[in-house]
Structure 1
Amino acid sequence: MHWKELLPIDRYVVQMKDRLHETDRDVLTLLYQPLIGSLAYSLYLTLWAEAEGSPGADRERKHQTLMVLTGQPLDQLFQERKKLEAIGLMAAYREKSDDEVLYIYELRKPLTPAGFFQDDLSVFLYNRLGKEQFRRVRDRFTIDRKSLENAEEVTRSFDEVFKSLHQSEMVSYDEEFRSGTDNLRGGQKAGEGYSFSGSEFDYDLMLADLPPFINKETLSKEKVKRTVTQLAFVYKVEPLEMSKFIQDTILHEDDLDVAALRKQVQRRYRMLYSQNPPSLALRRQPAHLVTQQKEPETESEKMVHYYENTSPMEMLQNVSDGAKVPPADMEIVEHLMMDYRLSPGVVNVLIDYILMINEMKLTKGFADKIAGQWSRKNIKTVKDAMEIAKQEYKNRKEFTKAKKEGRMSQGGGARKKPVRRERLPKWLEDQKTRESDDGKSSDAAPGAAPDLEKKKEELAKLKQKYQKKK
């Protein structure tokens, strides 16, 4: 009795949380389709295509459109829709206003291959396909992997490569950037993609400082331990200080309230270091781009070694004699590293070059011009950056000298605003110089005649006076 619940004139809109990828399509085709049938499978793909291709208000359609697209009557579509809902590929919501009804179809991604075969759905698939076919389908999703039994893991953890910056280097970051993440694509939880060793944080010391009534088993769980060490790393909290925060958070609960602990740590950070949360920076030039392997001897080698073993933030602080680095300069540094993909050592050379030729001012427009050129030239190492900086400086010096000489050759007179001159061919410049010289001599002639006549008159008068005295 679908007509009691769904009519052709009822409108619907499709939404989703993530895109359908190639593996998802394989899972739908080979694992879900045998269970839900080809019509439900086709309906799912049709709705997914609609959701991806029709943003904004244009997404609303009538069920009549869906009937035309699939070539199926409404009662059949209703039955197939129920299959998708039951197997977890869709959630349906109904919104009523006046005499109109709007259905909201929220599509959900299928399970991963591993998740499907660990789920009870695999039992139904086994009964549908049979033993041999089931094994072939399962092998289709199996990846050949080399055994890691005798291998030693050498993966670097997050806190071994990155560091939390000093408060003077922090860049403003409003809390609003953390909000609104519910509508972002993907379902991977924060922190799942990377490891975190927490080797610099003495977790045992923190546990030892806690009073006996605190449930330490809860704090020994891997998930809780990771969260605590991560908070300590990012917000620079010592073990004994973290112990106090945990006592305040866990006082009335048996389990640790991670959200409350995070708020406590953030509140303490704001009190100490104003409203600016921490930022991250690479410690040094990546190992594969380091060129100065031996002990530096010459001045040039020492500079290469310095650029490769200093972060851009530390270099800016060194240039300022330890003074606070302006937030605007910090933004420029992050901009160069993130947007132009320049390595830290190359950024060091670029910053040093700009400060040298720009009266110790780091300006974004200037930095963008040079970074764009270096990025296009694929400058990766410090030595390459130093070479191109030297060449640029030489060209700049020659241009400035030529410009200055050109201004001086124009002669004295009233001080004029420097005008940009186009470079001319040599023969044209010679001709222009001759014309300029001719013009000057012709301009001087009319003014010289009155002076000569005046002097003749004065000489005649002196002669007359001399004759009278005689």
Structure 2
Amino acid sequence: MGLQSFDYGLRPHDNFSVVRNFTINNNHLEILNRLFTPMIGSNATGLYHYLNQFAELEPDTVLTHYIVMSELKINLLDFRKEMDLLEGIGLVKSFVNHNSQYSTFIYELVQPPSAKQFFNDPMLSIYLYSEVSKQRYQQLKRHFESKIHIDLNQFQDVTRTFTDVFKVPNKAYENDTSQIIDEATYEGLNLSRVEFDFETLYDLLQNHFISTEIIDKDAKALITQIATLYGLTPEAMKRIILKSITSAQTLSFEELRKHARSYYLMEHEQQLPTLKVKPENISDQKIDNQKDQSENENNDWLKQLEETSPIDMLASWSESEPTMQQKYMIEELIERENLSFGVINILLQFVMLKEDMKLPKSYIFEIASNWKKKGIKTAAQAYDYAIKVNQPKKETQSNKPYFKQKQLASREMTPKWLEERDKNETNTQTKGEDDETLKKDREQFLNQLKNRWKEDK
């Protein structure tokens, strides 16, 4: 999530002003109310409307955040949460200047996109589609379509030009327009911090004798959007691009969007991605005075693993860019075993804990094959199974010594801290003691994984 009130040093007496370098009209309000509200909620779009009134005030008018708190009946944390949504979706920009007494904030309202821009944006259109029904989506789209359909191909354009009507001035004059404010237009979702491995994609395309020149600036922007939206690897993107090349050896953006959407639907049981806000961190919970809900945090963490590319997870987990061999291995693993991102992320984390941050390929593929045979399809199933295989087994279950059983049972993946868990345990432990030990081990392991996961966030 974006910066919160405490990150900004935001206090009630801090000043703010609102800037709007465009003229808001009814069409903008229609876009906000009909298209953005289903995605970010009425509180966020309501805050946009509320801030708009301050753009009309004189520049020297003093405003403090007390006004926002008093009139909207919210605290600064709630204010920042809604601002995060507006900033993340590209409707507001925030600027701050700190001094010893107070801070001054400037909130710039960005002009909403046109309906055509919105529905041509692969991320905005898909997220809206995911929030409303198919029938409602088509209804919203028809609302912004032209009601008049005239085929102008049967007509001749007889419009007069400027020089047909007016005399061209002969006298030159100075025309300084530097002080005229240019209208701020919607720039789309800010993906400047998203990195897609284009070098690997170029190599893969060249293997198919496809020139990298088809990936121009606009194509790179669209590929980054699509890869972020659907969590695609360079290998998957290569296959989609090959299907989207026209007979003239150019890249069709429409086909690219269509094939990427079809690929994602096949991989995710016909469910499109939805717009989700990152879970709140510990500091947010303290300020909000919310009690700790470990079960919800565990679910959020597992969902995060399901939605994160294994390459991105590996970069965060190991605090370094994965090698090309590791990236090829992960892509091969996805293609060969068809396991979900969540299962692969759990698998890679377990192996790194056991193998001192190393990723032996044959070992990983052996585990992946075994998990696939056992029908493990989600991060939650992978996590539960990995914990289960490390439960201590009683000697009465087999004639083999317990340490031999443990060695075999944990051959798939056993973090070092789990190997040390049973050193002092005897085979006479009661079931209650086993359950209590397992519970503590699960909590300790979950905290270890989550802490490592969040270190790079």
TM-score, scaled to structure 1 = 0.37
Larger radius of gyration: 1
TM-score, scaled to structure 2 = 0.38
